[in-house]
Structure 1
Amino acid sequence: MANSKYEYVKGFEQPDALLPNTWVVVRVDGRGFHKLSDHYAFQKPNDRRALDLMNKAAVEVMKDLPDLVLAYGVSDEYSFVFHPTCELFERRSAKIVTTVVSTFTAHYIYHWNTFFTETPLKPPFLPSFDGRAVTYPSTRNLRDYMSWRQVDCHINNLYNTTFWAMVLKGGMSNTDAEQELKGTVSSDKNEILFRRFGINYNNELEIYKKGSVVYRQYELETKEGKEAASSDLEPVSKTQQEKMRKLRKKAQVVVDHVDIIKDDFWDRRPWIVSNKPGKLPVSQDIS
């Protein structure tokens, strides 16, 4: 860039590098999605089209950014996880957040018509998302964050499933349903669903109860052969980084609806914590 007398304005830029050697989670949230979902008549309590669209956008973000190791989504939010060794954009917060949010939004809008074939997007009801970056110093902290989001998914989905059954099937007003559910615990809601509406909550789809986990798929570790995964914070050369990036791009990005609170998910997928690509399944093993 050529020097000029106006170049001094660069001095107003503030450094925003994220803390090194920490997990970075970029959480994307829908803006004004209550109005958006009402306008486009999202089904209650869950609209599978809307969730599949969120997942599609998340998969495309994972493909576009091989530095990502994991993502988790529920409702109108998605959390994208970067490994502590990630040096994308020199870990500048604004660059990372805006890249994730804009990429996610672009794919969400682009693929809208694939899932909502009869309701094209029209202003002023256009989807938009905001985002923030949070750093977590340990793998335990990261897992607790992911567990928090999945527990939240279960709590909210059980409430919403019960609430909308009372309104749509029971003919109650929103206010009366809210009042009756006030102070209830999980067992109370399960009882209402089963006794009044014949709904066994355990039979609800896993995507509604557990949310969606997005990651790169390699051969799963067996319980007998698994080794405890550890986050390797040793410096990695640019050549090694590029090699691993290419290996990640070969892996299939999958969407799963599983328990991420217990150890089994992490033990069988050690590449998430280690950030070292695993062995591609035979069906994916392409050169």
Structure 2
Amino acid sequence: MHQMYLTSHRLSDHYAFVKPNDRRALDLMNAAAVEVMKDLPDLCIAYGVSDEYSFVFHPSCQLFERRNAKLVTTIVSTFTAYYIHLWSTYFPSRPLQPPNLPSFDGRAVIYPSSRILRDYMSWRQVDCHINNLYNTTFWTMVQQGGMSNTDAEQELKGTVSADKNEILFKRFGINYNNEEEIYKKGSVLYRQYELQDPKEAPASQEEDSLPEAKQSRSQQDKLKKLRRKAQVVVDHIDIIKDDFWDRRPWILSGKPGKLPVQG
């Protein structure tokens, strides 16, 4: 698992990112992440929210002999390069200018099992919902309600989800359930193969494939080619329930699935 963070929080203020969510900024993050996934077929899934992205390598990955520093620097530098390259596509009227340039840092975390990885990613998605509900309520109170930041923060102190939903609906006529999924669930990136029927999927999705370190170079190259052929998709979907993982067993198994038939 490799996590990346946008280190310059002044960036959003300088380039006037819309609050609580700037769709352009999120789409830019996703576009850069897609290119990273394409460049590194060893990645099996990624999850992004706000200015953070997590990229996951399969346990069988042997890229750079699994050297921590090499993997982290490769992801961070590749992501940063694409982020800057694609910036003008999403912010055509706000060109990047020094010293307000984007920079990212990253760290590596090892998760000993698929279950623990799933628990971590589930927590990230829950955290995304909690933060977005708070931010949506806070900025609605400020921007539409005319409240000061301090007063809005004070009123929200100690509130639960139901309270925030009530504030949004009763005061501003906003049904939080109708907010875009990208804001509530974050973005999930993975390689798309034909979905499987959960009833036919194996009971356990623990890695059972032959470790790539024990495979021949030709076998490793074949796997990479199959992964490169698969489309990298950006989804805003529930990854907490089993259904997401059961229908996409290739994410945890490391074995490429069957490519969808092109219509």
User: Aligning the two structures, in what range does the TM-score lie when normalised by the shorter sequence?
Assistant: over 0.9
Change beyond 3 A, Cα 1:281–1:233: closer
CA contact (8 A) 1:218 1:251 kept: yes
> 227-236 or 192-201, which moves further after superposition?
227-236
Q: For 1:53, which of 15, 20, 28 is the aligned residue?
A: 28
Query: Which has the greater radius of gyration?
Result: 1
Structure 1 residue 113 and structure 2 residue 88: aligned?
yes
Q: Quote how far apart the aligned CAs of 1:233 are.
A: 5.2
Q: Quote how far apart the aligned CAs of 1:235 are.
A: 2.9
CA contact (8 A) 2:113 2:206 kept: no
Structure 1 residue 216 and structure 2 residue 191: aligned?
yes
- Matched to 2:3, the amino acid is R
CA contact (8 A) 2:195 2:248 kept: yes
CA contact (8 A) 1:26 1:134 kept: yes
Normalising to structure 2: TM-score of the pair?
0.97
Tell me what 2:49 maps to.
Answer: 74
- Matched to 2:208, the amino acid is D
Unaligned runs of 5+ in 1: 1-24
Secondary structure at 1:98's aligned position in 2? helix
Tell me what 1:143 maps to.
Answer: 118
Tell me what 1:193 maps to.
Answer: 168
Tell me what 2:207 maps to.
Answer: 231
Q: Displaced runs of 4+ in structure 1, greater than 6 A?
A: none
- Matched to 2:206, the amino acid is S
Instruction: Give CA deviations for 1:76-113 in whole Å, capped at 9, x if unaligned.
Output: 00000000001111111100000000000000000000
Number of aligned residues: 259
Q: For 1:95, which of 52, 70, 77 is the aligned residue?
A: 70
Structure 1 residue 240 and structure 2 residue 219: aligned?
yes
CA RMSD of aligned residues (A): 1.0
- Matched to 1:101, the amino acid is V
Taking only the aligned residue pairs, the percentage that are identical comes to: 75
CA contact (8 A) 2:138 2:152 kept: yes
Tell me what 2:129 maps to.
Answer: 154
- Matched to 1:254, the amino acid is V
Structure 1 residue 179 and structure 2 residue 158: aligned?
no
Q: 1: CA distance between counterparts of 2:137 and 2:23?
A: 17
Tell me what 1:255 maps to.
Answer: 234
Tell me what 1:124 maps to.
Answer: 99
Tell me what 1:272 maps to.
Answer: 251
Tell me what 1:12 maps to.
Answer: none
- Matched to 1:26, the amino acid is H
Q: For 1:85, which of 60, 74, 78 is the aligned residue?
A: 60
Normalising to structure 1: TM-score of the pair?
0.89
Q: Quote how far apart the aligned CAs of 1:227 are.
A: 2.6
Q: 1: CA distance between counterparts of 2:19 and 2:80?
A: 23
CA contact (8 A) 2:6 2:102 kept: yes
Q: 2: CA distance between counterparts of 1:156 and 1:262?
A: 20
Secondary structure at 1:273's aligned position in 2? helix
CA contact (8 A) 1:84 1:233 kept: no
- Matched to 1:139, the amino acid is S
Instruction: Give CA deviations for 1:172-223 in whole Å, capped at 9, x if unaligned.
Output: 0001000000111100000000000000000000000000000000000023
CA contact (8 A) 1:71 1:213 kept: yes
Q: Quote how far apart the aligned CAs of 1:244 are.
A: 0.5
Q: 2: CA distance between counterparts of 1:217 and 1:76?
A: 24
Secondary structure at 2:197's aligned position in 1? coil
Secondary structure at 1:112's aligned position in 2? helix
Instruction: Give CA deviations for 1:213-263 in whole Å, capped at 9, x if unaligned.
Output: 000000000233333333125333122111000000000000000000100
- Matched to 2:98, the amino acid is P
Unaligned runs of 5+ in 2: none
